[in-house]
Amino acid sequence: MQSGGKLSPRHVFLWRSRDSGATWDKSLVPDTDGWSDVDGFFSQSVTYRTASGVLLHTARVDASGPHWKLPEATGVETRSGDQDDRTMLWRSSDEGRTWRKAADGGRFGTYSEMYPRFLRLADGRLLLTFTVRSNATDGQALGLRAIISPDDGVTWDFEHDRIILSDRNQGASGGGFGNTVQLADGAFISCYSYRGPDDKTHVEAVRWSLPRR
């Protein structure tokens, strides 16, 4: 984990274990291409190894940080808390020694699209589930979404390729997480939280299937 601000690139570490966590090699200090942000590079993040061995890493981008900002025309109405944070995607092809932004400057979704989780499907494609936490741009209530990469995580179509898994959230913000597993019959189970009309947080699971291709 790293601290924010100008010192942050000097506080990024990646520990390795080759014996199921009994011992750790702490010597690696990854090159994160000058990353500097309030949130840490490995804070509130997910790192995933693709079938080709490339490491995909999501980094949460603080609204006040120096990294990419979307234009005001995106319609972001709520600016309090973390509701105009967003997610970036980084890639490493050398076991985490160096990290570089993925396509389009690392942009991965839009404002308030957070808590990403990756899952390799039985057919080899890569599934991403994520939560629209505030300021939805897809015309649906806040909640869990899914999209698929056909090329092992190289490309993602956030604008057109969306599956709405949950749209029960009430209010201007809320909802979270959404880890997903694939069952033997090909269906999926996803769990997530949402804010109900009683203004309380609820947790539920949904069983779902992909549309036929």
Domain boundary among 95, 111, 127: 111
Average pLDDT over residues 7-14: 72
Alpha-carbon span 174 to 167, nearest angstrom: 11
Residues 151 and 100 occupy one common structural domain: no
Better pLDDT: 24 or 111: 24
Residues 107 and 124 in one domain: no
pLDDT of residue 75: 54
Q: Domain range for residue 33?
A: 1-111
**What is the value of pTM for the model shown?**
0.86
- Domain termination site, one of 111, 127, 154: 111
Confidence tier at 177 by pLDDT (50, 70, 90): confident
Clarify whether residues 95 and 123 are in a common domain: no
Confidence band of 126 (pLDDT split at 50, 70, 90): very high
Number of structural domains in the chain: 2
Both 75 and 28 in a single domain? Answer: yes
- 107 and 201 assigned to the same domain: no
Neighbours of 57 (CB within 10 A): 21
Q: Is 99 found in the same domain as 78?
A: yes
Task: Give the pLDDT confidence of 39-86 residue by residue, as tens digits.
Answer: 778 877 899 999 999 999 999 887 777 776 666 545 555 565 567 788
Q: Which of 89, 111, 133 lies at the terminal end of a domain, its last residue?
A: 111
Asked whether residue 88 falls in the same domain as residue 133, the answer is no
